[in-house]
Amino acid sequence: MEKKLTIDVEALKKSLLQRRPMKARFKLPMSEDEAYAYLLAAMMAEVEYRHRSFCTSEDMENQLHEIAHWLTSSSPKFGMLLCGGCGNGKSTMLKAFQQLLNNLRIPKSFNDGTYGIQIVDAKYIAYLCKNNYEAYRKLISMDMLGIDDLGTEPSEVMDYGNVYTPVIDLLTKRYEEQLFTIITTNLTPQQIREHYDDRIADRLNEMVEKIVFKNGTYRNN
C-alpha cells in the first residue's frame, strides 16, 4: 500500500523564504501626485542647468505620470526602461531622477546612508570590463544603477584571449539579484531582442517597466 505524503506546502514555502528573504523594491516615500510634482521640478532644473528652455508637452506629462506611478507602486518589476528616439529627453530624465534622489536624501532601511543612483554609459561598462575589472564588478552589484545609451557598446570585448560580454553579464547578474536598474536606449524592444538575443530580452521583459518616449528630438533649436 502506498504511503500518503503529508507535506505542508505553505509552511515549507515560508521556511524557504526565511532562508532567502525577498528583496524589497525601492519606492519613493510619497504619493503618486507628489512624485509627479517632484519629478517635474527635477526635470525643469536639469533642463535649465544645461542652459536650455524647459517646454512641457502632453508626451512629457504622460512620461512623468508613468514614471511617478511606477516609483510609488508595488510593481514586481525592479527596473525601468526609457526607450525612444534620439534627443527626446530619456537621459535628461535619468539625470533628473539622480539629482532628485540626492536632494531628497531618503534613508536606507538596511544600512547607513541614503539612496543614490550612479549613472554609467553603456560603452563605459564595456571599457571597465576590459581595463578595470574590479570597478566593473562593483557596478554589477550596486543597489541602484542607471545605464545610459544601451546598445551603443560593443557586444564583446577581448582581454588576453578571453571573450567577455560586459553588458549582458551585468544585466544577467542584476536580474538574478533583483537590483534596481534604470536603462535608457534608442533601441526598440524588437531591436533589443535582435541585438541581445531572446534570453536577455525575455529577462528584461520581466525586469523592467517600459516607458516609451514618443516625442521628437529637443535638439533642433
How does pLDDT run along the chain (221 residues), one tens digit per residue?
A: 455 567 788 887 777 777 666 667 899 999 999 999 999 999 999 999 999 999 889 999 999 999 999 999 999 999 999 999 998 899 999 999 999 999 999 998 767 799 999 999 999 999 999 999 999 999 999 999 999 999 999 989 988 888 999 999 999 999 999 999 999 999 998 999 999 989 999 999 999 999 999 887 777 75
Cβ distance 36 to 72 under 8 Å?
Answer: no
Whole-number Å distance between alpha carbons of 142 and 220? 36
Q: Does domain 76-213 have CATH number 3.30.750.24?
A: no
Q: How far is CA 197 from CA 100, 180, 182, in A?
A: 34, 22, 20
What is the structure's pLDDT at 16? Answer: 76
**CA distance linking residue 135 with residue 120, whole number of Å:** 12
pLDDT of 14 reads 78
Q: What is the pLDDT of residue 216?
A: 77
Q: Count Cβ atoms below 10 Å from residue 126 Cβ, excluding itself.
A: 22
Residues 6+ apart with CB under 8 A from 40: 64
For the whole model, what pTM was predicted? 0.88
Hunting for cell 536650455 — which residue is that? 52
Query: What single-letter amino acid sits at 32?
Result: E
| Cα–Cα distance, 58 to 219 (Å, whole number) | 18
Taking the C-alpha atoms of residue 125 and residue 207, their distance in angstroms, rounded to an integer, is: 20
Q: How buried is residue 70: exposed, middle or buried, by Cβ count under 10 Å (0-12/13-18/19+)?
A: buried
- In sign, the C-alpha dihedral spanning 152, 57, 37, 67 is negative
Which residues have CB under 8 Å from 32's CB, separation 6+? Answer: 68, 69, 72, 73
Q: Domain residue spans in the chain?
A: 76-213
pLDDT given for residue 1 in this prediction: 46
- Strand-pair category, 79-84 with 208-213: parallel
Task: Give the span between the Cα atoms of 173 and 179, in whole angstroms.
Answer: 9
